[in-house]
Every structure is written in structure tokens, then in C-alpha cells.
Amino acid sequence: MTDIPWLTLAIALPALGGLAVALLPRERVLAAKWTALGVSGAVLVLVAVMAARFAPTGGERLQFAEVYPWIPRFGVNYAVGVDGIALVLILMSAVLVPLVVLAAWHENDDADDRGKGYFALILVLEAMMIGVFAATDVFLFYVFFEAMLIPVYFMIGRYGRGPQRRAAAVKFLLYSLLGGLLMLVAVIGVYVYGGTFLWSELVGPGGALAGVDTTAARWLFLGFFVAFAIKAPMWPVHTWLPTAAGASRPGTAVLLVGVLDKVGTYGMLRYCLEMFPEASRWFVWPVVVLSLVSIVYGAVLAIAQSDMMRLIAYTSVSHFGFITLGIFAMTSQGQSGAALYMVNHGFATGALFLVVGFLIARRESSAIGDYRGVQKSAPVLAGVFLVAGLAGLALPGLSPFVSEFLVFIGTYAFHPVPAIIASVGVVLAALYILWMYQRTMTGPAPEGSARLRDLSRRETWAVAPLIALLIIFGVYPQPLLDAINPAVEATMRQVDVTDPAPALGDADTTASGQEEGDHE
């Protein structure tokens, strides 16, 4: 327990802020925007203070823990707490939300309510995003997992782009509900076999799930994994993402791809691996194969896209393949890289979606063919676009490079062949990012098109923090890794796996032994 309910405050503050924005009079649009910005900024400060008080080593794994009975008859508790992985994901969410609010200041001015409801939905969604990463009761996690669908559905269906936005919202909802239904069955199974929903009582050698029949554990693993694979998304259950992202406002896409999709990979790391360690080890190779398909398939389809929003969505399918590959490599480097990848991908993809949103606001089109020569009239915008794109292809010096490098090291230690195949995704990433930049930013401007203005002060403030974070954590990722590594080590112990011995070390030992024998 903790004296100050940090996590409850972090969940309640945006939820109450969203309610306050929704209750404002219809004509108080400007007040709604400033309220949303102020509340999300306050949440960021609160989470930052909480992060500063977090002790990566020397303390309990789950910190800022709160446990209160919720539905005692069914063993359901309001239980929250964070380890290093959950903390950095909550911090990433808290950083992205105020920037999305700032970037979306005029994004929905054409809506019936001029976007007042949109800003209320953003705050409600922030509360649920923090809740899903903080939940340490499996049932509470499921509630937040499903509840997130509601604000996102309306953010796409009502405030999205184009005539297909309602169809895209329904497709997103149906896919997510299917995954949620499978998870619900698995959640019930966890309670039947374990007798509790508390994560801390379910995991570990002496946990409530330790004696579960092998076959039952594998089926329960699948129930959670398929739900998380849909949320992530992985091939072949990925098709909702390009459709939803293509019909979303850029601000919605930032939260959808930058944060919500991380719930899937976070769930794999936290729930699939630690609650079902034997099943996780048994399913390693099928998941590795699916990850490799996602990496290559997503990258190839990204190259073929003519719409920038859909292109970025397909790149994320490829990136999530790297994350799941790192998780199921079952090495500390791979899992640390995967957890770090979640954060860096959120910043890089968030910056890319925001810049594309600024372009769409100027020409009301996301088609690549409608943009050429942007760097001549808007050099700052083009420069930001280039940095965000280079982060997407994991250029050394930018933060995604560190996480991708760790994933490759961890995967190669697990088995060289998947690492070699995954490297194809790096080459393809250079193609789809640089080709998109070339087609939109260079060359002569389209005939008859208006000259594009450069970034405004508000737009600069919205994207500059993300560019700064990409550079800072590209040069010095240690603060994030200091929080992540102890949690990864605990996960490795729970799953009962260890890093393979370095092959070079074995060779040196053998050679040394031979030399000693020859000397004798």
C-alpha cells in the first residue's frame, strides 16, 4: 500500500476532466480545449512526480500498489500497481495526450460540436489507458481493456475522416470484441483454476496457477494471446488497423497506434508469459514465425501504399512484429528491447502521425500523390517529417535504434535464423520511409497547388517534445532501461528461462582448455 494513491489519482483526474469537458455548454468550445490541455498537463506532472519516486532496484516489484475489495463475492479487487515496464508505458501515454490535444486544436472544428466531445473522449481514453497498464487484478485489466473501445469507437466513427469512418469504427469494434470475448473466457478459466484474479497471487512457482494442467494452461494462454495479437495487431488479425488509421483523425491515430496497440504487446509480456510460463515456452516458435511474417508482410504492404495514414499503419504492423519477436526470444536483451521498443515506437509514430496531420490540415488530403516539393515552402515541416521518418527506420542516434538493436541481439542469442530474416524488415523500412519522403517533400510542387505554409507556433510546440525525446533517448536510453531491466529480470525468473551462454565465450573456454592440455 502507499500513503498517496498515485495511480488512482492518475486514473481519476482525466476521467473527471473528461466529464467536466462533456458537461460544458455547447458553445464553450475554447474552454473545453483549454480544460483538456490543462487536465492532461496536470496528469503528466502527476505521473512524472510518481516516476521520480519509483525505485527500480531495492524495492518491491509492484510499487504504488493499492488493493481494495470491489466485488468480494467473486474475488474481484480494485488492484493497481506498476513495475518499470508499466511505468514507462504510463509515462509515454501521459506525454502523448497533451501533445495530441495541442495538435488537434482545430482538427474537429467542422464537427457539429466543433470538437468539444472529441476532447472529452481523449481525456476519458487517457484514464482507461493508465488504468489498463496499472491494473494488477486480471478482471480489472479486462474491464479497462474492453472499456477503451468505447471512446475510440466514437473518436473514429463520429470524429473521423472520410465517408468510410463509421464502417472503419465498426470493423475496429468487431475485431476488438472478438478478442475481448476470447479473453473473457480465459479470464473465467483463470479464476476457475486459480481461485483469484490478483495477478500477484497467480504467478510464480508457488502461485495459484502453478498446478494447472498443461493442456488447460495452453488453452488459457491462447485465449489471452489471440486477444492481445488482435490488439497489437499481428498478422493475420491486423486488417482492422490500416482501415481504422486511414479513417481516423491524426490525433486519434497517435493514441490508437502509439498507445492502445501497446496494450497487446504489454499483455503478452505481463500476462501470457508470467501466468502461463510452460505454455509460453511451448508456443515460442509459432509466435516467432508469426512475428517474422508480420515484419516482412507489413513492410512490403507499406511500400505499396499511396495513402500516408495507411502507410504508417502498415509500418506499425511491421514494428509490432519486432516487439513480439523480442518478447518471445526469451532473452533478457530481447525483452528489454521489446519493452523499450514500445515506448520509442509511441514517440516516433506519434511524431510521424502528427506531421502527416499538419499536412492534411493544409491540403485536406492524405494521398502521397497530392504532395511534392513541400521542403521548398515548408522546410521546418519537412525537416521534422524527415527526423520522424528516420526514427521509424531506426537510424542510429535516434531512440528506436537502441530498442531494435537490443531485439536483434536477443533474437540472435535465441537463434540466428529469425534474426537474419528479421533484418529484411530493416532494409524494407528504409525503402518505405525514404520513398515516402522523396515523393512528398522533394521535387517540384504539383501544378496549380497552393504554397504550403510552414509549422505554426502551436504545431511546433506539439511535435518538438517528441523530436527531443527521440534524440535524447537515442543518445542516452539508460533512464528507461534502468526502469525496464529489473522488471524483465523478474519476468525471466517467472518464466524460468535464462540467457544462453555466449558462443564466443564457449569457444574461448574450449580453446583455453586445449592449450592447457597441450602444455601438459
CA 510 to each of CA 252, 254, 501: distance values in angstroms, whole numbers, following the listed order: 56, 52, 13
Q: Give Dmax (Cα) for the chain.
A: 92
| Domain residue extents for the chain | 295-513
Torsion angle of C-alpha atoms 415, 347, 60, 409, degrees rounded to 10:
20
Instruction: Give the pLDDT score at 359.
Output: 87
**Ramachandran sector of residue 115 (left: φ over 0; alpha: ψ -120 to 50; beta: rest):** left
- Who contacts 423 (Cβ-Cβ below 8 Å, separation ≥6)? 408
Q: How far apart are CA 424 and CA 445, in angstroms?
A: 33
Location of C-alpha cell 472503419: 168
* 398 within 8 A of 349, measured Cβ to Cβ: no
Give the tens place of pLDDT for each residue, 164-177.
Answer: 889 988 998 898 89
Instruction: Give the pLDDT score at 369.
Output: 81
Query: Rounded to the nearest 10 degrees, what angle do helices 84-103 and 478-495 cross at?
Result: 130
Q: How far apart are CA 297 and CA 426, in angstroms?
A: 12
Helices (H), 364-415: 374-377, 379-392, 399-414
Residue 295 has pLDDT above 90, yes or no: yes
CA 13 to each of CA 69, 290, 415: distance values in angstroms, whole numbers, following the listed order: 21, 39, 46
Instruction: Give the pLDDT score at 450.
Output: 61
Q: How far apart are CA 228 and CA 272, in angstroms?
A: 9
Element (H, E) at 77: strand 76-82
Percentage of the chain lying above the pLDDT 70 cut: 93
Of 37-46, 284-293, 361-370, minimum mean pLDDT range: 361-370
Nearest CA to 124 out of 255, 287, 284 is that of 255
Q: How far apart are CA 287 and CA 320, in angstroms?
A: 12
Q: Which three cell numbers, joined as nine digits, stand for 194?
A: 486459480
Give the tens place of pLDDT for each residue, 116-165.
Answer: 888 999 999 999 999 999 999 999 999 999 999 999 999 898 888 878 88
Average confidence (pLDDT) over 258-267? 89
Location of C-alpha cell 486480471: 138
Q: How far apart are CA 318 and CA 292, in angstroms?
A: 9
Q: How far apart are CA 47 and CA 517, in angstroms?
A: 60
* 313 within 8 A of 245, measured Cβ to Cβ: yes
Location of C-alpha cell 509514430: 349
Residue 518 has pLDDT above 70, yes or no: no
> How many helices and strands (H and E) does the chain possess?
24, 2
Q: How far apart are CA 404 and CA 362, in angstroms?
A: 34
Instruction: Give the pLDDT score at 503.
Output: 61
Instruction: Give the pLDDT score at 496.
Output: 78
Average confidence (pLDDT) over 311-339? 91
String of DSSP letters for 254-300: HHIIIIIHHHHHHHIIIIIHHH-HHHHHHTHHHHHHHHHHHHHHHHH
HSE, side-chain direction, 13 A CA sphere, residue 146: 14
Q: How far apart are CA 512 and CA 485, in angstroms?
A: 33
* DSSP character at residue 367: B
Backbone angles phi, psi at 71, to 5 degrees: -125, 80
Of 188-197, 265-274, 442-451, 495-504, minimum mean pLDDT range: 442-451
Q: Which three cell numbers, joined as nine digits, stand for 110?
A: 467542422
Q: How far apart are CA 81 and CA 273, in angstroms?
A: 18
Of 170-184, 195-209, 250-264, minimum mean pLDDT range: 195-209
1: three-class secondary structure by DSSP: coil
Q: Which three cell numbers, joined as nine digits, stand for 149?
A: 473501445
Backbone angles phi, psi at 449, to 5 degrees: -85, 150
Q: Which three cell numbers, joined as nine digits, stand for 79?
A: 488492484
* 263 within 8 A of 145, measured Cβ to Cβ: yes
Instruction: Give the pLDDT score at 307.
Output: 87
Average confidence (pLDDT) over 371-398? 88
Q: How far apart are CA 84 and CA 406, in angstroms?
A: 17
- Who contacts 174 (Cβ-Cβ below 8 Å, separation ≥6)? 240
Using DSSP bridges, classify how beta strands 63-71 and 76-82 pair: parallel, antiparallel or unpaired: antiparallel
